[in-house]
Amino acid sequence: MKRRQFIQGIALGAGAASTPSLLSGCLQKPVPVAANALNIPPLIDSRDARHDIQIAIQHGEHEFYKGIKSKTKGFNANYLGPTIRLYDDEDTRLRFTNNIGEDTTVHGHGLHVTGMVDGGPSNVIKAGETWDVTLPIRQQASTNWYHPHLMGKTAEHVHAGLAGFYWVEDKNSQSLPLPKTYGVDDIPLVVQDRTFIDKKMKPYSVTAEQIMSGLLEGTPVVNGTVDAYVDVPSGWVRLRLLNGSNARFYEFYLQGEQTFYKIATEGGFLETPVPITKMFMAPGERNEIMIDLSDGQTQELMAVFRAPSADDESLIFKEKKRILELRPDTKLNVKLKSKGTLPKNLNVVTPFKPEWKREQASVTRNFMLNMEMAENATQASKHDNHAMHHMLGINGKSMSRDRIDETVKKGDIEIWRIQVDEMLHPFHMHGTSFMILQHNGAPPKAENRGWKDVVVIDEGVTEVIMKFDFEATKKDPYMYHCHILEHEDAGMMGQFTVTLTGEK
């Protein structure tokens, strides 16, 4: 038997054996086994805070395992940061004080704000200094996040724990009958993978090979909790998932292949809930899902651990791991302000209506995400440490802060055609949300017909359409990049401006 066939045999066998209906008869739900109560990041509601919020970026010692401290970083915390609730049409002042002893930035990933306040590589917060920034929120309800974006340091800073949620609410999200009691039936979930040595988190470090593959680690961590469970009311539960990993891709599912409903992508609600049994998520992506736990039985959110390389063996040895155990308990129902349900209609998603068409785009741009230029650079990096940061690129060029790659005219609708020369790459851009026009020659699946800001590019052409309504100047340009953080840091990133004239 050839090695390849052997491997495929194993993969098939593993898949069949883990189908619960074959193993244990129908409707057998898991029994509670997870060890640690899920950490829920504190909520800061911008209204309660009178639209003035202070955050310290700090070193921490976080207990992933009880009683064992790991060296980490966080926002007002040992690890990760508060969920900050913002409202459409309201401005919030944030003051980020940098206490980590080295430069960083705080990017609002998914926010439609100008380059001046976007927190990209130009908005450096020096050690000991405070970044005083006002974020005018002008966008629909959506689950966004914040994380550092310093050139060459993003992967390390995020890995240490610097990430948190920005939740945008609007009139629609507040009036929909969805679950909305924070941390009870409306639950933030940052999913990451980490390596533990003697139950301590292995600090960030990568080899040249790991820069290419992305840093792929083995243990799932949710909100900084290893082996997590959460007590929830019995009924509908809303999970706001963020893949906050450096490079890991996940395929989420529920035990017994229970159907769940996707209600939102990165940039807002879908038109209607879409029933699914599995959900693929690349780094940087967010999705909101609804799970019906009214039968009161323990359920498990599982994930197949995937790698971004199509011929990587880890794709074949797809490991299934428990991400979170959900324990419904009717006693918790008293904690709810109101009992949430799954509405039939959620949103109006304009570009899929006749009024916004492909013909309205005034510019089409082409992007090729390059791995192949890395070969020479890998050789060079042995002699020159600096070259490590210039191995990968877009359109044949490695990221340079001194070069503006694209100039967009404010108010324009554009189509971006994106391709890769190798592997899978989650493409992200700042300053707006887009719609997928086509993915490998096909229109997007129902569950992806919503506003997004990260899209996985694989073997074919992916086209996205979007409008640029906010300004980014040469001094504070927007970024577009691969959201595998090792790739971003190694140069798979470009800069663009959005100005009234569309000139540099």
**What residue ranges bind Cu ion (CB under 5 A)?**
109, 425, 430, 482, 484, 487
Single out the residue of 190, 148, 173 nearest to residue 58, CA to CA. 148
Please report, as residue ranges, which positions from 6 to 65 form the binding site for ligand C2O (by CB under 6 A). none
Pairing mode, if any, of strands 228-232 and 319-328? parallel
Least separation in angstroms between residue 404's CB and ligand C2O is 16
**Alpha-carbon distance 284 to 373, whole Å?**
24
Q: Is 491 in the site for ligand C2O (CB under 6 A)?
A: no
Nearer to ligand C2O, 326 or 482 (CB): 482
Among 159, 428, 439, 449, binds ligand C2O (CB under 6 A): 428
The answer to whether the beta carbons of residues 457 and 425 sit under 8 Å apart is yes
Least separation in angstroms between residue 286's CB and ligand C2O is 10
Nearest residue to Cu ion, by Cβ distance, number only: 482
Q: What is the DSSP string of 446-496?
A: GGG-S-BSEEEE-SS-EEEEEE--S-B-SSS-EEEEESSHHHHHTT-EEEE
Contact pattern for ligand C2O over residues 316 through 355, marking x by CB under 6 A: ----------------------------------------
Nearer to ligand C2O, 151 or 232 (CB): 151
SS3 293: coil
Pairing mode, if any, of strands 43-45 and 83-87? parallel
**Alpha-carbon distance 155 to 152, whole Å?**
8
User: Which residues fall within 8 angstroms of residue 145, CB to CB, at 6 or more apart?
Assistant: 109, 110, 163, 164, 165, 166, 190, 242, 244, 286
Q: Is 284 in the site for ligand C2O (CB under 6 A)?
A: yes
Q: Residue 236 phi/psi, 5° resolution?
A: -80, 135
As given in the structure block, the two tokens for residue 285 are 């992506």
Least separation in angstroms between residue 175's CB and Cu ion is 28
Nearest residue to ligand C2O, by Cβ distance, number only: 109
Nearer to Cu ion, 301 or 371 (CB): 371
SS3 39: coil
Q: Is 248 in the site for ligand C2O (CB under 6 A)?
A: no
**Alpha-carbon distance 22 to 443, whole Å?**
35
Nearer to ligand C2O, 151 or 228 (CB): 151
Least separation in angstroms between residue 483's CB and ligand C2O is 6
**Alpha-carbon distance 309 to 421, whole Å?**
12
Q: Is 487 in the site for ligand C2O (CB under 6 A)?
A: no
Nearer to ligand C2O, 262 or 430 (CB): 430
**Alpha-carbon distance 447 to 471, whole Å?**
30
Single out the residue of 227, 199, 198, 202 nearest to residue 217, CA to CA. 202
> Which does residue 482 bind out of ligand C2O, Cu ion, none, counting CB within 5 to 8 angstroms by kind?
Cu ion
Residues in the chain: 504
Q: What is the DSSP string of 117-130?
A: TS--TTS-B-TT-E
Please report, as residue ranges, which positions from 87 to 116 form the binding site for ligand C2O (by CB under 6 A). 107, 109
> Which does residue 425 bind out of Cu ion, ligand C2O, none, counting CB within 5 to 8 angstroms by kind?
Cu ion
User: Which residues fall within 8 angstroms of residue 438, CB to CB, at 6 or more apart?
Assistant: 444, 461, 462, 463
Q: Which stretch binds ligand C2O (CB under 6 A): 271-279, 379-387, 458-466, 475-483?
A: 475-483
Least separation in angstroms between residue 126's CB and ligand C2O is 20
Nearer to Cu ion, 247 or 465 (CB): 247
Q: Is 149 in the site for ligand C2O (CB under 6 A)?
A: yes
Contact pattern for ligand C2O over residues 191 through 210, marking x by CB under 6 A: --------------------
Least separation in angstroms between residue 484's CB and Cu ion is 4
Q: Is 481 in the site for ligand C2O (CB under 6 A)?
A: yes
Nearer to Cu ion, 113 or 482 (CB): 482
Q: Is 479 in the site for ligand C2O (CB under 6 A)?
A: yes
Single out the residue of 355, 324, 360 nearest to residue 189, CA to CA. 324
Least separation in angstroms between residue 393's CB and Cu ion is 11
By CB under 6 A, name the binding residues for ligand C2O.
107, 109, 147, 149, 284, 428, 430, 479, 481, 483
